[in-house]
């Protein structure tokens, strides 16, 4: 099966995970070991150092590897650190970046219409997926509440929430799935027994993206869970890779 990991990272974070993947080779080695064909990748510098550094390094280091697809982080445009919005989008096009992350907690800004309205409007119009970790906080909101507030302001935003907790969170995210067609969830910690099957029966496979959360999490769990979920092979392939392929193809930086 063609696994396209939507949630992989490498680099040197200030606080390392139990078994770090400091170099791009570490990520590639793990992908080969597990049988993950492709990955959407962020560099630890993105949130641990600065977006300027992380955005640059990930492009440089993934360039030789066709299986790796770099991602960047956004910042508010008011400070101009990543250039004007059009310059930023042009740089994305040139670098082949088709998905972005927001780290409002670590980068200390408010992820809302006042602060990021121009960026989030552009992402909505251009169908560029925005990834956010469930633990991120902004405007006093965390996780699903933040996702809900963001989607209320930008209902056509393609938003991917990653790493939802191992305590099932279906009561939180299913209402958002029903309300906003752009909400997607990665499967890195969707460990709930029967969760993928139950979700697909109700909502179809289109909102789930295979993710590993490597190097924090062992990819094997999410892989075997999806590989043998009681769903059709067609749905399985969409979650494993097809949905992410579609989202990236629709993105127009």
Candidates 57-65, 71-79, 186-194, 245-253: pick the segment binding another protein (CB under 8 A).
186-194
Candidates 38-46, 79-87, 101-109, 164-172: pick the segment binding another protein (CB under 8 A).
164-172
DSSP string across 1-30: ---EEEEEEES--SS--SS---SHHHHHHH
Give the nearer residue to another protein in terms of CB position, either 21 or 92.
21
R_g of the chain, CA atoms, integer Å: 17
Candidates 17-25, 79-87, 89-97, 143-151: pick the segment binding another protein (CB under 8 A).
17-25
Q: Which of 35, 19, 26, 60 is nearest to 216 (CA)?
A: 19
Candidates 62-70, 113-121, 148-156, 195-203: pick the segment binding another protein (CB under 8 A).
195-203
23 belongs to the binding site for another protein (CB under 8 A): no
Q: Which residue of 149, 192, 237, 248 would you call a contact of another protein, by CB under 8 A?
A: 192
Give the nearer residue to another protein in terms of CB position, either 127 or 174.
174
Q: How far is the CB of 23 from another protein (least distance, A)?
A: 15
145 belongs to the binding site for another protein (CB under 8 A): no
Q: Which of 190, 169, 181, 170 is nearest to 239 (CA)?
A: 190
The three-state secondary structure class of 52 is helix
Q: Which residue of 14, 15, 18, 234 would you call a contact of another protein, by CB under 8 A?
A: 18
16 belongs to the binding site for another protein (CB under 8 A): no
Contact 162, 150 (CB under 8 A): no
195 belongs to the binding site for another protein (CB under 8 A): yes
Question: Rounded to whole angstroms, how far apart are CA atoms 38 and 171?
Answer: 31
Any idea what the Cα angle at residue 212 is, between residues 207 and 213, rounded to 5°? 105
Strand pairing of 100-101 and 159-162?
A: unpaired
203 belongs to the binding site for another protein (CB under 8 A): no
Count interface residues toward another protein (CB under 8 A).
36
Q: Which residue of 64, 66, 79, 171 would you call a contact of another protein, by CB under 8 A?
A: 171
Q: Which residue of 13, 129, 148, 215 would you call a contact of another protein, by CB under 8 A?
A: 215
Question: Rounded to whole angstroms, how far apart are CA atoms 122 and 86?
Answer: 9
Contact 70, 95 (CB under 8 A): yes
Q: Which of 134, 160, 207, 187 is nearest to 3 (CA)?
A: 187
Strand pairing of 183-186 and 159-162?
A: parallel
Q: Which of residues 226-245 bind another protein (CB under 8 A)?
A: 227-230
Q: Which residue of 34, 85, 113, 237 would you call a contact of another protein, by CB under 8 A?
A: 34
* Residues near another protein (CB under 8 A): 17-19, 32-35, 166-168, 170-171, 189, 191-195, 197-198, 214-225, 227-230
């Amino acid at each position: 099966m063609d696994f396209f990991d939507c949630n992989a990272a490498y680099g040197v974070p200030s606080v390392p995970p139990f078994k770090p993947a400091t170099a791009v080779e570490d990520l590639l080695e793990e992908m080969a070991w597990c049988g993950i064909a492709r990955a959407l990748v962020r560099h630890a510098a993105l949130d641990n150092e600065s977006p300027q550094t992380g955005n640059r390094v990930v492009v440089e280091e993934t360039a030789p590897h066709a299986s790796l697809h770099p991602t960047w982080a956004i910042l508010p445009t008011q400070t101009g650190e990543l250039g004007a919005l059009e310059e930023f989008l042009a740089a994305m096009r040139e670098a082949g970046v088709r998905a972005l992350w927001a780290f409002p907690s670590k980068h200390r800004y408010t992820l809302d219409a006042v602060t990021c309205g121009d960026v989030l409007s552009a992402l909505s119009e251009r169908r560029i997926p925005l990834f956010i970790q469930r633990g991120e906080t902004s405007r006093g909101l965390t996780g699903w509440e933040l996702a809900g507030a963001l989607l209320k302001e930008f209902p056509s935003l393609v938003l991917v929430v990653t790493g939802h907790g191992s305590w099932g969170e279906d009561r939180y995210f299913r209402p958002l799935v029903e309300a906003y067609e752009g909400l997607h969830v990665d499967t890195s910690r969707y460990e709930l027994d029967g969760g993928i099957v139950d979700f697909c029966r109700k909502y179809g496979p289109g909102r789930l993206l295979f993710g590993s959360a490597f190097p924090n999490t062992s990819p094997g769990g999410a892989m075997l869970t999806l590989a043998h979920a009681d769903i059709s092979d067609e749905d399985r392939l969409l979650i494993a890779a097809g949905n992410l392929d579609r989202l990236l193809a629709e993105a127009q930086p």
